[in-house]
Amino acid sequence: MTRTLLVSTDQAGAYPSIGEALAAAGDDAVVAVSPGTYYEALFVNDRGATVVAAEGPGTVTIDASSGTYPTVSCNSGRLELRDLVLKAGDAPVVVADRAKLTLTGCELSAGFGAAVQIAGRSEFNLARCRVTGGRYGLVVEDSDGSVEGCEFTDLAEDGIIVRIGAAPTIRTTTVTRCGNRGIYIYQYGKPTIEACEISQIGQAGVAVVHQSAPVLRRCRIRDTRGPAVSFGRGCQGSVTECTTENTAEPAIEIAEGASPTIVEGRVSRQAAFGAAAARAATPQDTARVEKLLADLEAMVGLESVKDEVRALIDEIQVNEWRRSAGLPVGAVSHHLIFAGAPGTGKTTVARIYGELLAALGALPGGSFREVSRRDLVGQYLGHTAEKTAAAFDQARGGVLFIDEAYTLSRSFGSGGDFGQEAIDTLVKLMEDHRDEVAVIAAGYTGDMVTFLDANAGLASRFARTVEFGNYSPEQLVVIVERMATGDEYLLDDGVSEVLREHFGTIERDENFGNAREARKLFEGVRKAQAQRLRQTGQRPSLDELRTVTVADVQAAIGR
């Protein structure tokens, strides 16, 4: 089990400094640091450690600006830093050599040194970090890793340096206000640079020399005193669908003896670049998504429903990936129609769908609010709009599930015009708050057509209609078997066959309850078993208490 050590200057039993906690920690320990400023330099050598701000971003500052050492050094070890503010003087802020380094949500600033310096075939990952001040923002030498959603600003010389064969991926990152070059690639550097924003640069936006071969895709480079991209003699690589603005001419400068591939292409006006693109994408809980999809898959039957939901989730997930890559994403409606007979799992699927949207970051992740006509329709003019808006507001961040939604249309029930007022109110709310609530309207297939005809704009608000078919006799047997297992009953030999025969004889009209029929029958079976056991006149054994017989089922069917 991972050991966690607390650092605090005023809490009894905690370590007073981060360095002391690291010295006492074993391999791969977590050091949780209480809010405050800690004037020290940290060293992690030949082991693993995680240092994290215990109360979140911006609460912990590690300041080594008065000394001559880097603020954090890691040699031949593994180090993860989260949500920390790190300051250095003339030395680099973070140095990694032959190490595995992860920085997430950190803020770094230096006097004259580099903010982050990585060498010795290290592996690294920088995510959502902000570098302000220093001579260089990031120096990567002979190492591979990734930079995503980061900002490098106000650097005296170069924003990012990639050299000696290093091949990192730099994605959705902003490099701005650099005195010399935005990104400098030399000595066989081979970075991939995607959806980055490079601006307000003293010389070239991206300078490539010494046999280097970068790949630039969909970047925006503007306001540079030098060219947007310059390739020196002997360099290769590619520039694909990049935009340039207010740079020296030519925007892409290619020296004699250089042979990069330049691919022009239109970039949508909706495309996002740099750290802004990364911020626009919401984090996804992939483990939670897989768990929820497994729960959906475990439901009895509903194969077409599962296919529809999986298709919706695939589209949402890919859209979030596109957004994080800086690609434009069209407006997507999460509102659905669930049509079909009762007892086919519409409410359960709606709950899973809402949780999937939250896990994918498509919804904030609020409550599941189930309503019907009486919850939305008032008793006088104006009352309905108020009730409908209140129900909608209670579902913010999650799902508003409207059962028997067709009863809101004018042709159903008394006070039909008030029902129409609820529909008209919903249409406006669904459009104004499409990213905050998923509305799922459920009901019989034919009646839902009437519901959609009740307002000219209603049908366009729903992404699609998902059809829930009746369960087959075999599927209803499985449902009963699961109910029995859940309540620790055992079905005797022959019970499943009797159940299958019974469900095969039931007429499947609009009043057929599907899983409700299975639940109703199972409750009758339990009563029949209880009566049978009670009439024996003696206390039954454990096996007798658990076993359901054919006679119990036949008695329940005959009721």
Average pLDDT, the chain: 87
Q: Reply yes or no on whether the pLDDT at 409 is more than 60.
A: yes
Q: In what order do the strands lie in the sheet with 85-88?
A: 36-38, 60-64, 85-88, 107-109, 130-132, 151-155, 174-178, 197-201, 220-224, 243-245
* pLDDT interval class at 117 (50, 70, 90): very high
Condensed to tens digits (0 to 9), the pLDDT of residues 233-291 reads 999 999 998 999 999 999 999 999 999 999 987 665 666 787 877 776 666 777 888 88
* pLDDT interval class at 61 (50, 70, 90): very high
The count of other CB atoms within 10 Å of the CB of residue 187 is: 15
Does 412 or 401 have the greater pLDDT score? 401
Strands (E), 288-349: 336-340
Condensed to tens digits (0 to 9), the pLDDT of residues 381-394 reads 678 888 888 888 88
* pLDDT interval class at 415 (50, 70, 90): very low
Best-predicted range by mean pLDDT (56-70, 338-352, 478-492, 545-559): 56-70
The Cα–Cα gap between 417 and 397 comes to 29
Percent of all residues in the chain with a pLDDT value above 90, rounded to a whole number: 41
What pLDDT is attached to residue 413? 47
What phi, psi does 430 have (nearest 5°)?
-65, -35
Condensed to tens digits (0 to 9), the pLDDT of residues 536-545 reads 878 888 888 8
The Cα–Cα gap between 10 and 102 comes to 29
List helix spans (H) across 93-161.
none
Domains and CATH numbers, the chain: 1-134 (2.160.20.10), 169-280 (no CATH), 281-468 (3.40.50.300), 473-557 (1.10.8.60)
* Residue 501: C-alpha distances to residues 287, 472, 507, 553 (Å): 41, 11, 13, 11
What pLDDT is attached to residue 171? 93
The Cα–Cα gap between 46 and 401 comes to 55
Q: In what order do the strands lie in the sheet with 464-468?
A: 368-371, 399-402, 438-443, 336-340, 464-468
Q: Reply yes or no on whether the pLDDT at 75 is more than 60.
A: yes
Identify whether the C-beta of residue 38 lies closer than 8 Å to the C-beta of residue 22: no
Average pLDDT over residues 75-102: 95
What pLDDT is attached to residue 212? 97
Identify whether the C-beta of residue 347 lies closer than 8 Å to the C-beta of residue 476: no
* pLDDT interval class at 93 (50, 70, 90): very high
Q: Reply yes or no on whether the pLDDT at 152 is more than 50.
A: yes
Condensed to tens digits (0 to 9), the pLDDT of residues 222-235 reads 999 999 999 999 99
- pTM of the prediction? 0.65
| Sign for the pseudo-dihedral over CA of 255, 256, 257, 258 | positive
Identify whether the C-beta of residue 72 lies closer than 8 Å to the C-beta of residue 118: no
What angle separates helix 515-534 from helix 495-505, to the nearest 10 degrees?
A: 130
Strands (E), 69-135: 72-75, 78-82, 85-88, 94-97, 100-104, 107-109, 114-119, 123-127, 130-132
What pLDDT is attached to residue 418? 77
